[in-house]
Amino acid sequence: MTDTPTPEAARILDIATGYMAAKQLFQASRIGLFAAIAAGADTAAAIAERCGVSERIARLLADALAAKGLLVRTEGHYALASDASAYLTGEDAVIDLAPFLTFLDEISYPHWLQFAHTVDTTEPGELQMDDARWATFMAGVMTYNRLHAQEFGRRVDLAGATKALDFGGLSADFALAVMARNPELHTTFVYAPGFEDGVAEAVAAAGVADRAEVQVGETATATPQGAFDAVFANHVIHRFSAEENARIFRNLRAAAAPGATLTVLDFFLDDDPEQRALDALHAGEYLVIDGTIVYPEAEVRSWLADAGWQVQDKIALAGSPRVLVATAI
């Protein structure tokens, strides 16, 4: 009789201790470890001096991040991996993710300490926000959105579109990323009250004010007018009820020309053979933070079909949400 080998527990332990790596990443970002290495401080002693910490702490953090692949250690010298160089080196980064890491450390992580309450009640925890915490919250969320928009611009092809509607999102960066690649595209932004100034500022900063119009409307009820050939509903659905989302997609279909392309960017719970981890983790994050919802993809597809949209593709953006791409029929 052959004994069945006992499975290893490594995967369980990797999940269970994940917060340790996260906390070390947050603190390395806070003290400027990645920028220090980028500037030439490539030993624990040099990192310690530049960052104002002990050599023990410098090595502890650098070794942990080397173990996770963000640094490369060679005979006591540290170098940045390509992703760390691109996103963790401060003002020299392609996108500086430090504000998002600060949000995770100071807002999200402490909030997860209330997750047992959420599991028992299906209710979010208490944010207990003041002005400073709201500033940290918004800086982090908008930084994460910039990453999403970068990947959206890279992966979503809207060549040939000339008249776009950016509806109800949190950031103009998605439409701006597409406009940068398509100089013929004009965009009407319809955002909830309070967002219009930020959208106008982003449009002006991008140098496309002559190709943009900013309007105000309540996302759940607004009825945009036009015959748009591209429609963006990015980071919208998790903030609204099923009934509101069904109405939103009907209103967007009424504003779309036949054959128009709709993008729905958000996290989804899928029915694929293996659930995408990033989406499933954010289902807990959204719920514990403020009670918003990561919807099953099948439910989102049903709203779209009922409203006259046919899903053509699903695109997974690296480190970001997924995009359902649909056509107006």
Fold that domain 157-328 belongs to in CATH: Rossmann fold (3.40.50)
Whole-number Å distance between alpha carbons of 247 and 114 = 33
| Coil, helix or strand at residue 8 | coil
Place of tokens 């790596």: 21
pLDDT for position 1: 58
Bridge partner residues of 264 (DSSP): 233, 324
Bridge partner residues of 263 (DSSP): 232, 325
Bridge partner residues of 311 (DSSP): 326
Kindly state the helix (H) or strand (E) to which residue 161 belongs, with its residue range.
none
Total Cβ atoms within 10 A of residue 310: 12
Residues in the chain: 329
- Sheet with 212-216: strands ordered across: 212-216, 186-191, 163-167, 228-234, 256-266, 322-328, 309-316
Q: Are 229 and 257 in contact (CB under 8 A)?
A: yes
Q: Are 261 and 232 in contact (CB under 8 A)?
A: no
Tens digits of pLDDT across the chain (329 residues): 567 889 999 999 999 999 999 999 999 999 999 999 999 999 999 999 999 999 999 999 999 999 999 999 999 999 999 999 999 999 999 999 999 999 999 999 999 999 999 999 999 999 889 999 999 999 999 999 999 999 999 999 999 999 999 999 999 999 999 999 999 999 999 999 999 999 999 999 999 999 999 999 999 999 999 999 999 999 999 999 999 999 999 999 999 999 999 999 999 999 999 999 999 999 999 999 999 999 999 999 999 999 999 999 999 999 999 999 999 99
What does DSSP assign to residue 108?
Answer: I
The alpha carbon of 310 is separated from its chain's Cα centroid by a whole number of angstroms, namely 25
> End-to-end distance of the chain based on CA atoms, in angstroms?
62
Q: Are 185 and 228 in contact (CB under 8 A)?
A: no
The alpha carbon of 269 is separated from its chain's Cα centroid by a whole number of angstroms, namely 16
pLDDT for position 4: 84
| Coil, helix or strand at residue 188 | strand
Fold that domain 10-93 belongs to in CATH: Arc Repressor Mutant, subunit A (1.10.10)
**Domain boundaries, given as residue ranges, for the chain:** 10-93, 157-328
Kindly state the helix (H) or strand (E) to which residue 26 belongs, with its residue range.
helix 18-31
Q: Which of 288, 278, 280 is nearest to 120 (CA)?
A: 288
Bridge partner residues of 166 (DSSP): 189, 232
Which residues lie below 8 Å from residue 287, measured CB to CB, with a gap of 6+?
Answer: 118, 122, 124, 293, 294
